[in-house]
Structure 1
Amino acid sequence: MLARRAVARLATQPSPIQAGARNMATLREIEMRLKSVRNIEKITKSMKMIASTKLAKAQRAMNAGKQYGLANAEVFQNTQSDTPATRKLFIVISSDKGLCGGIHSSVSKATRRALNNSPDSPLVSDISKTATPAKVDADSPIMVIGDKSKAQLSRALGGNLVMTFNQIGRSIPTFSDAAGVADLITTSGVEYDSVVLIYNKFVSAISYEPAALEIKGELGLKNSDGFKAYEMEDDVTKDLAEFSLANAIFAALTEGHACEQSARRTAMDNASKNAKEMIGSLQMQFNRGRQAVITNELIDIITGASAL
């Protein structure tokens, strides 16, 4: 009876050959994972270098694009109106590409806060700091530039989306891209008193924040006190409203593109650091497993030599 129990206990315990084979399989898995993580580290480092190169070009384009926004501010300094705009059209500016941190989610969250009339909403007009913003309707129309924010807003505010744009600013945004978007907006048939641009504001090379810029429409310009003092044709006001919208969109596109490259560089830098830490941990685990296998083999050799 005792012999049967001893035989059964020996049968359930793994043999040294099986244990060594299991260790070798584990070492092979660790080695394959090390190889894949090293490849990922090479890719993230390359993407970081590319983003750093593109960031310098994007900053130069952003500084040039800001001049268009400053021109708009100078034109509309004397267009104050006592009646705030009631019908607002929101234009959310993001991009089609990912792997750039929270660039897209920041403007999506800012848009949801603005439609909910949240007190921490970035809906503040950069054209008229003294104007009192009207309460935003929950059913305000939304247009999105970029597929990433479109996918995020379609889940929460799918009924508000009236038009989306993609393949804009794949490299560096140009004024022709902004003019094309402004032309499609004005000919879309959507009624609005003012346009609110939700975009990412470039703070520094490592930080950004969501911002809002309000552009008056054709009726807002006509009803402003500064324009009432002059006799102008309807086409002049209409053309000025469309041109100012194109200027603002171009300035926001260039600034958002610079924020995207900055965030991508930061994201790839963090990914490279995480891959490096994982490589160190896996390398230590691999060395310990290899040392255990070698120790077991030495024990088997010494045991066999002692038996002889």
Structure 2
Amino acid sequence: MLARRTLGRIASQPPVGAAPAGARNMATLREIELRLKSVRNIEKITKSMKMIASTKLAKAQRAMQAGKQYGVANSEVFQNAPAEEPAKRKLFIVISSDKGLCGGIHSSVTKATRRTFADKEAGIDADSPIMVIGDKSKAQLSRALPKNLVMTFNQIGRDIPTFADAAGVADLIIKSGVKYDGIAIVYNKFVSAISYEAAIMEVQTEDVLKSAPGFKAYEMEDDVTKDLAEFSLANAIYATLVESHACEQSARRNAMDNASKNATDMIGKLQMQYNRGRQAAITNELVDIITGASAL
């Protein structure tokens, strides 16, 4: 009987150099522990980014309210100088950002631009030029409409956009020599702190202002109309820049909030999985100890 027990123990032992029976379970626990650590670090980062975006959002909303006055002044001017015929070759100025992790603000303006080009009723020429402010939408439009992309801008709006930024962009657009008979600014319109939508702001060119009946009633020099057109373009770019910046901060805050919640849920699931695995490993070790003690 003693010989049979001894032979049974020898046969049940793993061969020399083989991993113990609980090695697979321990490795799994180690992987879960490392994953828990990485998810906790990600949660700290997303919570910090959410707090920063919340602070920036308040400043961006104040700048947006001040910048909207520029857009209101432009709309009053253009109401008195309507275009006689809709422009076919429009210059599209797409406003996005250089940074990511802010939801779909980049894809929304890109999709709005593509829909406008695909809409046959709009009557837009297929070779209408596109200028992009921001590297994110530039990458998207360079794949969708590469032949229409004529100029891009970056490093604008890293902080709250200023009128000097808008004036610099307008000056480069005018000096670029690109031919167009109308301007359409595609931007994100701020709806609330949790929502936004793509919108298009029309800007009249110098030729349209000269031919408008409201302007013909007054005797003005050509330089006056030219300066007014350039100033109106800078006004429109500034108004849309500050509104797009507010949308970016709002979208980033919401994205980081959702990411933090997802990380918290994942930590809870991984912690439960780790506790179950650890409990199972301890139970197996206790069973082995009790079995060995009973055999002795």
TM bucket normalised to smaller: over 0.9
TM-score by length of 2: 0.93
Q: Secondary structure of the equivalent of 2:83?
A: coil
Distance in 1 separating the partners of 2:41 and 2:83: 59
Give the structure 2 partner of residue 122 of structure 1: none
Give the structure 2 partner of residue 307 of structure 1: 295
Residues paired across the two proteins, number: 288
Give the structure 2 partner of residue 30 of structure 1: 32
Matched, 1:248 2:248: no
From 125, 136, 156, give the equivalent of 2:144.
156
Q: Which residue type is aligned with residue 44 of structure 2?
A: K
**1:35-54 counterparts in 2 under 5 A?**
35-54=37-56
Q: How much has 1:76 moved relative to structure 2?
A: 1.9
Q: How much has 1:12 moved relative to structure 2?
A: 9.4
Q: Which residue type is aligned with residue 269 of structure 1?
A: D
Q: Is the 8 A contact 2:89 2:180 kept in 1?
A: yes
**1:116-265 counterparts in 2 under 5 A?**
116-117=118-119, 135-265=123-253
Q: Deviations over 1:103-128 (max 9, x none)?
A: 10000000000111167xxxxxxxxx
Q: Which residue type is aligned with residue 302 of structure 1?
A: I
Q: Secondary structure of the equivalent of 2:200?
A: strand
From 273, 285, 292, give the equivalent of 2:273.
285
Q: How much has 1:86 moved relative to structure 2?
A: 2.4
Q: Is the 8 A contact 2:14 2:20 kept in 1?
A: no
Give the structure 2 partner of residue 93 of structure 1: 95
Q: Is the 8 A contact 2:109 2:187 kept in 1?
A: yes
Q: Which residue type is aligned with residue 72 of structure 1?
A: N
Q: How much has 1:81 moved relative to structure 2?
A: 3.2
Using a 3 Å threshold, how does the CA distance of structure 1 residues 39 and 118 change in structure 2: closer, same or farther?
A: farther
Q: Which residue type is aligned with residue 102 of structure 1?
A: G
Q: Deviations over 1:213-242 (max 9, x none)?
A: 010101111111211222211111111000
Matched, 1:74 2:76: yes
Distance in 2 separating the partners of 1:148 and 1:288: 44
Q: Secondary structure of the equivalent of 1:189?
A: coil
Moved more, 109-118 or 92-101: 109-118
Q: Is the 8 A contact 1:85 1:220 kept in 2?
A: no
Distance in 2 separating the partners of 1:81 and 1:34: 61
RMSD: 2.1
Distance in 2 separating the partners of 1:178 and 1:80: 24
Q: Which residue type is aligned with residue 38 of structure 1?
A: R
Q: Is the 8 A contact 2:93 2:185 kept in 1?
A: yes
Q: How much has 1:186 moved relative to structure 2?
A: 0.6
Distance in 2 separating the partners of 1:148 and 1:266: 19
| Structure 1 alignment gaps of length 5 or more | 1-5, 120-133
Give the structure 2 partner of residue 127 of structure 1: none
Distance in 2 separating the partners of 1:17 and 1:150: 54
Identity %: 78
Q: Deviations over 1:60-91 (max 9, x none)?
A: 00000000001111222211232222221000
Distance in 2 separating the partners of 1:166 and 1:16: 59
Q: Deviations over 1:167-199 (max 9, x none)?
A: 011100000000000000011001111110000
Q: Is the 8 A contact 1:193 1:218 kept in 2?
A: no
Distance in 2 separating the partners of 1:236 and 1:40: 56
TM-score by length of 1: 0.89
